Amino acid sequence: MAAAAALLAHIRLDGRPSTLCTLRALTGLPCPFCGGTTAAVHAGSGDLAGALRASPLAVLGAPVVAALPALRHRIGPLPRGTRLAALALVLVSSELWELHRFGWI
């Protein structure tokens, strides 16, 4: 993941659209995943603070997702309700952050 972020930080595309997010392109509203590409570019450039400002979900979520197989083996499966509640909390928190970042709230 670190190598992909470093590579992404050095790619410059002329004519790149202002957003890759379909929801934001159509409605102007960011989705919970908005800022993921920007966060990867900042992280690949060594700007962790900028990456966190762009998308805490991407910066903090990527290592968690990468570690999930080891975590499942170590702590065992969580009840379905717990997994869904945790996912909902993370996505709502991320959406609120993105709405704040783009000046909606």
* The pLDDT of residue 56: 92
| pTM reported for the whole predicted model | 0.69
| Mean of all residue pLDDT scores within the chain | 82
What is the residue range of 68's domain? 2-101
**For the chain, how many structural domains are there in total?**
1
* The pLDDT of residue 15: 54
Q: Tens of pLDDT along 36-73?
A: 888 888 888 889 999 999 999 989 988 888 888 888 78
Contact 28, 18 (CB under 8 A): no
- pLDDT-derived band at 16 (thresholds 50, 70, 90) equals low
Higher pLDDT, 59 or 10: 59
Long-range contact set of residues 31-36: C-beta below 8 Å, sequence gap at least 24: 31/95, 31/98, 32/57, 32/91, 32/92, 32/94, 32/95, 32/98, 33/57, 33/58, 33/94, 34/98, 34/102, 35/98, 35/101
Contacts of 105 (CB under 8 A, 6+ apart): 96, 99
- Whether 14 shows a pLDDT value over 80: the answer reads no
- pLDDT-derived band at 20 (thresholds 50, 70, 90) equals low
* The pLDDT of residue 100: 92
